[in-house]
């Protein structure tokens, strides 16, 4: 009996414990990392730390040389001519030249010359360079493409508009009249103004009328008082004509 129990409790040599193998079905790994949200990705990209670049040692790079481009003699001459044009003329109008022929330009010059209006040609680069440092800097945006200057010693805007109206290749863009920068509509409004002689005549006539009315008002009461006093004196002296006139009044 004891031997039977010992044989059951003490395992035999070379005996292995019982193992029960449980077979499971194989499953594919379907769990992946969830992608980052778009806004979070943008926030992470914006807030990413960027280390500063190390400063270069002094003398590691050659010093930068600033090259100053000198203007040619022709450019200086053109700028001098522009300065004389803007200083000697009261009317400077910018016009667009839409591929007009040489013959059309000659005819236009002849028509404008009758009114003492000249046509000037200058490169846009020189015009913009000159206007950037002058009081007419607001005219610089008008010089795009093929442009011409119509200048005159006197503000003859009305004559200019009448002459240019017959040349469809020339389009007015704006200008400066008596140190006032005007648009195309401003030039049209300026042309409708009366001449200086007419305005001066109207001003003188208005002032004369006001002066005469003031003088009449100031003399009315003294003259009326003088007439009353004269009538009173005649009545006191017993003049029959005065009595008759006083009775009629």
Confidence at residue 91, expressed as pLDDT on a 0 to 100 scale: 92
pLDDT < 50: residue spans in the chain: 5, 249
> What count of residues does the chain have?
249
pLDDT at residue 152 in the model: 92
pLDDT tens readout for residues 146-174: 899 999 998 889 999 999 988 888 889 99
97-130: pLDDT as tens digits: 887 888 988 999 999 999 999 999 998 888 888 8
- Name 234's Cβ contacts closer than 8 Å, sequence gap at least 6: 241, 242
Domains of the chain by start residue, with CATH: 73-191 (3.30.70.1730)
> Nearest to residue 183, comparing CAs of 175, 191, 195?
175
Statement: the pTM of the whole predicted model exceeds 0.85: no
d(CA 177, CA 34): 73
Q: Please give the pLDDT value at position 241.
A: 57
Burial (0-12, 13-18, 19+ Cβ within 10 Å), 175: buried
Q: Tell me which residue of 171, 94, 97 sits closest to 138, measured CA to CA.
A: 94
């Amino acid at each position: 009996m004891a031997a039977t129990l010992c044989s059951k409790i003490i395992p035999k040599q070379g005996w292995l414990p019982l193992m029960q193998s449980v077979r499971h079905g194989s499953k594919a790994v379907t769990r992946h990392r969830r992608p980052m949200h778009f806004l979070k990705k943008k926030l992470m990209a914006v807030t990413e730390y960027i280390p500063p670049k190390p400063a270069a040692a002094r003398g590691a790079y050659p010093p930068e040389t600033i090259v100053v481009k000198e203007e040619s003699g022709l450019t200086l001459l053109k700028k001098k001519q522009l300065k004389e044009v803007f200083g000697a003329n009261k009317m400077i109008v910018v016009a667009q030249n839409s591929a007009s022929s040489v013959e059309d330009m000659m005819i236009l010059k002849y028509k404008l010359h009758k009114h003492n209006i000249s046509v000037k040609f200058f490169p846009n680069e020189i015009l913009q360079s000159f206007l950037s440092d002058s009081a007419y800097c607001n005219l610089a945006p008008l010089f795009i493409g093929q442009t011409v200057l119509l200048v005159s010693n006197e503000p003859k805007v009305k004559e200019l508009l009448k002459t240019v109206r017959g040349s469809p290749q020339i389009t007015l863009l704006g200008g400066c009249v008596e140190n006032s920068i005007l648009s195309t509509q401003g030039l049209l409004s300026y042309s409708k103004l009366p001449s200086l002689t007419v305005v001066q005549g109207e001003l003188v006539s208005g002032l004369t009328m006001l002066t005469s009315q003031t003088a009449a008002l100031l003399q009315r009461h003294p003259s009326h008082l003088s007439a009353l006093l004269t009538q009173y004196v005649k009545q006191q002296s017993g003049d029959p004509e005065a009595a008759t006139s006083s009775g009629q009044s």
